[in-house]
Amino acid sequence: MATVGPATWSEKNLRRLLKAGVDVVRINLSHGTSEEHRRSVKRIRAIAEDLERPVAVMLDLMGPRFRLGEIEGEVKLKRGGSISLGAPASGADLPLDDASFLSHMRPGERLMIADGRIELEIQSKRGKLARAKVVFGGSVSSRKGINLPDTNIPFTISNKDRRDLDLAHELGADWLAASYVGRAHDLDALRRAMGRGGGDVLPLIAKLERARAVEHLEEIVAAADAVMVARGDLGVELPLDRVPVLQKRIIDASRRQGKAVIVATQMLESMIEQPRPTRAESSDVANAVFDGADALMLSGETAIGQHPITAVKTMDAIIRRAEEYVRERETLPGAPAPVPFEPLKPLPIEREEADEAIDRRELDVPGAVAAAAVEAGRHLEAKQIVALSQGGFTARLIARYRPQSPLTVFTIEPRTARRIQLLWGVRPLVLESTVRRHDEVVRLIDERLRSMKLAHSGDLIVLLMGDPIPERPLTNLIRAYRIRDE
């Protein structure tokens, strides 16, 4: 994933980004204008069509953002000193762009400024002013960001976010990222806002960036369509020694529940200015692969960096090398066990019992078929696992098992093809024609795989689909199939 910005808005650089390996483009709605975002999405769609590649567009909502107001010059904060905060008209030493959050703060709670470099502790409040002690000092200037790691700020959807939800519908965004999520019901509120007036409810990525979100990790993962390990804000709100372990826990929780997980922030940060990353950054990218992330995201490196294309190529190369090692490691004796997934309920022996369990949603048939396909692919050494997926659900179920065989997913929906680019190891392909019979599907898949050199005569593949096709059932069929002779 790559964030676009001033360094990559041009058609030339967008094309170079996609050709370098970007599958999902992030547009940060905290910056830029609606018209700029419209131009960017239009260019991305046109270039992706020209390259004949499904490319997803993810819009990242700004959410609540707390900042200092306008400051003339700089204010120097001395450790141990005391300072006042409030609205610009209050005469405070540090004016706040929006002082409403002060009403939720209590004495003893921390206020972090400029990515945590400055730390204040609230001592008292009076009217629209608060006094705070300087725990860690330094110089601050206008518009610096503020984090409130100890304060329970209610989740709200600002007027800007509501306008941006309308923009997301207008532009046909594939994914929507939500900031400041603390509980599962925050995502429910966003879905209600999206659905007002009968609008489409876009799939939501919950950005895990608050200390409070960590306390409710499992419920947020369950409610989200995907999650993002937003390490920048996590590293401000929580002690830095917790962030690496939290990254692993978030990835594990997401894989158990079959949700895509993105690792983001400062992955190749030095490449904003330098043409090569540090050794530590290279290891960081590789370790995110080893942890099992679905996607890795570049932010400032491609939005404002001096070497955006090189950054993408560098990340692509590190990912490929790391995944080669993962495949080698999986074949060695004593290889680590895969992440345990939520157990499937045992299949009832009697057919009548099984049918009743399916009707009651007590039996995860698509999950069982996906797991069986991955195991069949491994034992048969299949050249491909191939799935038909209308909305992406089957693709997600298979991808969470990280199959050894390449995974190709056919769909008749272009938007589905774009959305599943976020999933681990998925190659999405669009079937241009609507098919109604099992044999038609198999013939089309056979021809398409051979024409794209993804499979050759005699190759064994594992096929998954829902049958009968016209009824659009959940995935219920698995088949071992050998590619025909030319």
Q: Is the confidence at residue 349, as pLDDT, over 60?
A: no
pLDDT at 3 exceeding the cut of 50: yes
Q: What is the mean pLDDT of residues 148-175?
A: 92
Q: What is the pLDDT of residue 335?
A: 56
pLDDT at 406: 92
* Average of per-residue pLDDT values in the chain: 90
Helices (H) and strands (E) in the chain, counts: 16, 22
> With 50 as the cut, is the pLDDT of residue 338 above it?
yes
Provide the pLDDT for residue 216. Answer: 95
Residue 360 has pLDDT above 80, yes or no: no
Residue 369 has pLDDT above 90, yes or no: no
Of 247, 249, 165, whose CA–CA distance to 200 is shortest? 165
Q: Residues near 197 by Cβ (< 8 Å), separated by ≥ 6?
A: none
Q: Which residues are catalytic?
A: 26, 67, 207, 265
Looking at residue 96, the DSSP 8-state letter turns out to be B
Residue 250 pLDDT: 97
| DSSP secondary structure, 185-248, as one string | HHHHHHHHHHHGGG-----EEEEE-SHHHHHTHHHHHHH-SEEEEEHHHHHHHS-GGGHHHHHH
Question: 248 — phi, psi (to 5°)?
Answer: -65, -40
Query: Which DSSP string corresponds to 428-465?
Result: EEE--S---SHHHHHHHHHHHHHHTTSS-TT-EEEEEE
pLDDT above 70 covers a percentage of the chain that reads 92
Q: What is the pLDDT of residues 249-264, one digit of tens each?
A: 999 999 989 899 999 9
Structure tokens, 213:
């979100």
Q: Is 138 left (phi over 0), alpha (psi -120 to 50) or beta?
A: left
Decide if 103 contacts 111 (C-beta within 8 A): no
CATH 2.40.33.10 domain range(s) in the chain: 66-147
How far CA 289 is from CA of 54, 298, 316, in Å, comes to 22, 14, 11
Dump pLDDT digits (tens) for 103-116: 999 999 999 998 88
Look at residue 340 in the predicted model and tell me its pLDDT.
47
As a 3-state breakdown, the chain gives helix, strand, coil percent values, each rounded to 5, of 40, 20, 35
Task: Give pLDDT, residue 359.
Answer: 54
pLDDT at 468: 80
What average pLDDT score do residues 218-233 get?
95
Classified by CATH at the fold level, domain 351-482 comes out as: Pyruvate Kinase; Chain: A, domain 1 (3.40.1380)
The per-residue pLDDT for 246 is: 96
Per the document, the length of the chain is 486
Q: For 66-147, which CATH superfamily applies?
A: PK beta-barrel domain-like (2.40.33.10)
Cis status, amide bond into 468, omega within 30 of 0: yes
Bigger pLDDT: 275 or 432?
A: 275
What CATH number matches the domain at 2-63+156-330, 3.40.50.2300, 3.20.20.60, 3.40.50.720, 3.40.980.10? 3.20.20.60
**Phi, psi (5° rounding) for residue 276?**
-130, 145
With beta carbons less than 8 A apart as the criterion, state whether 467 and 473 touch: yes
C-alpha 68, offset from chain centre: 29
Q: Locate 46 and state its tokens.
A: 């046109």
3-state secondary structure of 83: strand
User: Rounded CA gap, 83 and 76, in Å?
Assistant: 10
Check if the beta carbon of residue 312 is closer than 8 Å to that of residue 302: yes
Reported as a pLDDT band with limits 50, 70 and 90, residue 331 is low
Q: Point out which residues pair with 387 in neighbouring strands.
A: 409, 464
Region of 197 please: left (phi>0), alpha (psi -120 to 50) or beta. Answer: left
Residue 465 has pLDDT above 70, yes or no: yes
Chain region(s) in the chain for CATH 3.20.20.60? 2-63+156-330
Burial class (CB in 10 A: 0-12, 13-18, 19+), 191: middle
Domain span(s) for CATH 3.40.1380.20 in the chain: 351-482
The count of C-alpha atoms lying within 13 angstroms of the C-alpha of 212, restricted to the half-sphere facing its C-beta, is 16
In angstroms, the CA 144 to CA 113 distance is 7
Q: Categorize the per-residue pLDDT at 332 as very low, low, confident or very high, splitting at 50, 70 and 90.
A: low
CA contacts within 13 A on the Cβ side of 69:
16
**DSSP 8-state assignment for residue 422:** G
Burial category of 271 from C-beta neighbours within 10 Å (exposed 0-12, middle 13-18, buried 19 and up): buried
Predicted confidence at residue 223, as pLDDT, reads 96
Cα distance between residue 293 and residue 284, in whole Å: 12
pLDDT digits (tens, 9 = 90+) for 4-51: 999 999 999 999 999 999 999 999 998 889 999 999 999 999 999 999
Nearest to 428 by CA among 461, 402, 394: 394
The pLDDT assigned to 371 comes to 87
pLDDT at 300: 95
Cβ–Cβ < 8 Å for 172, 415: yes
